Amino acid sequence: MGVPIDGKKVALSFKEELLNLIKERVADGLNAPCIASVLVGEDKGSLFYLKNQSRVCEELGVVFKSFIMDKDSTEESVMRKIKELNEEDSIHGIILQLPLPEELDEEKIINSISHLKDVDGLTDINAGRFYKGEKCFIPCTAQGILELIKSTGINISGKNAVVLGRSTIVGKPVAQLLVNEDATVTICHSKTQDIRKVCKEADIVVAAVGIPKFVTEDFIKEGAVIIDVGFSVVNGKMTGDVDYENVIHKAGFLTPVPGGVGSMTPIMLIKNTCEVLK
């Protein structure tokens, strides 16, 4: 029987460290860290993440300023708002809630965020620095996933890791982080042939395809570490990319949904914002 990876517990250890850091800063008479969030429209997933981010910021004494713009906002107006936030010294980190409405040029808007305040690691400057191994902001979900894998105590070096999904925000950065830890990494996507066979060779599987219960027992090697990034709502219930009940018997470690990866992302966001202040 596999061991569930308690994302809330792993997040708590980071929370305590960050809370102390922020308390010390405020006791020294400095401003509390401040994150500005920009949401354009009313995407349900984004509203959920926004609520979660705002709650965790409040728990840690981080100021969270939310700017919700009309879904019909123009590219220019969104970029004007971001420019304002770039220039406002009291704001340390900026997050742009994705996806943006289809009519807007996502790349152009992302890259209008100052790379010095891009705590989600989305801009080309931060991405370029990340893949070159230079100091930068790394996408928060990917960082959280690596911490969850490390929390199992396994030695990542030399292990076979399979990442399902190649998005810029999850799949690719997770794969790079695992390569940096000396794992041998395979990335699978919608054109990969026989994903099941590829996964069966893996000591670590990170599932980020967004398809509920995509990964079943027959995908995995006995004792593997399985990280479920997926987040879908099925019949009103949060559901991951891994068929938890089916896989937990065979996995070594497995993250639940909810209570796994989702617990780490907002903490990593605050960790990145605290880096701005150093």
- Binding region for ligand NAP (CB under 6 A): 141, 164-167, 169-171, 188-192, 195, 208-211, 229-232, 261-262, 265
Residue 242 per-residue DSSP state: B
Q: How far is the CB of 205 from ligand NAP (least distance, A)?
A: 12
DSSP alpha helix (H) spans, 152-247:
171-180, 195-200, 244-247
Q: How far is the CB of 44 from ligand NAP (least distance, A)?
A: 11
Using the Cα atoms of residue 232, residue 176, residue 167 and residue 121 in order, give the sign of their dihedral: positive
**140/148 Cα distance (integer angstroms):** 12
Contact between 205 and 227 (Cβ < 8 Å) = yes
**206/187 Cα distance (integer angstroms):** 10
Of the pair 188, 254, the CB lying nearest ligand NAP is at 188
Q: How far is the CB of 46 from ligand NAP (least distance, A)?
A: 11
Of the pair 73, 97, the CB lying nearest ligand NAP is at 97
For 20-34, give one letter per residue: b (16+ CB within 10 A) or e: ebbeebeeeeeebbb
Tokens 């009103």 -> residue:
236
Q: How far is the CB of 234 from ligand NAP (least distance, A)?
A: 11
Give bridge partners of residue 67 from the DSSP assignment.
Answer: 38
Nearest residue to the partner ligand NAP, using Cβ: 167
What's the burial of 160, exposed, middle or buried (CB within 10 Å: 0-12/13-18/19+)? middle
Of the pair 142, 251, the CB lying nearest ligand NAP is at 142
Q: How far is the CB of 136 from ligand NAP (least distance, A)?
A: 19
Tokens 């792993």 -> residue:
10
Q: How far is the CB of 58 from ligand NAP (least distance, A)?
A: 18
Of the pair 122, 209, the CB lying nearest ligand NAP is at 209
Of the pair 94, 187, the CB lying nearest ligand NAP is at 187
Of the pair 79, 140, the CB lying nearest ligand NAP is at 140
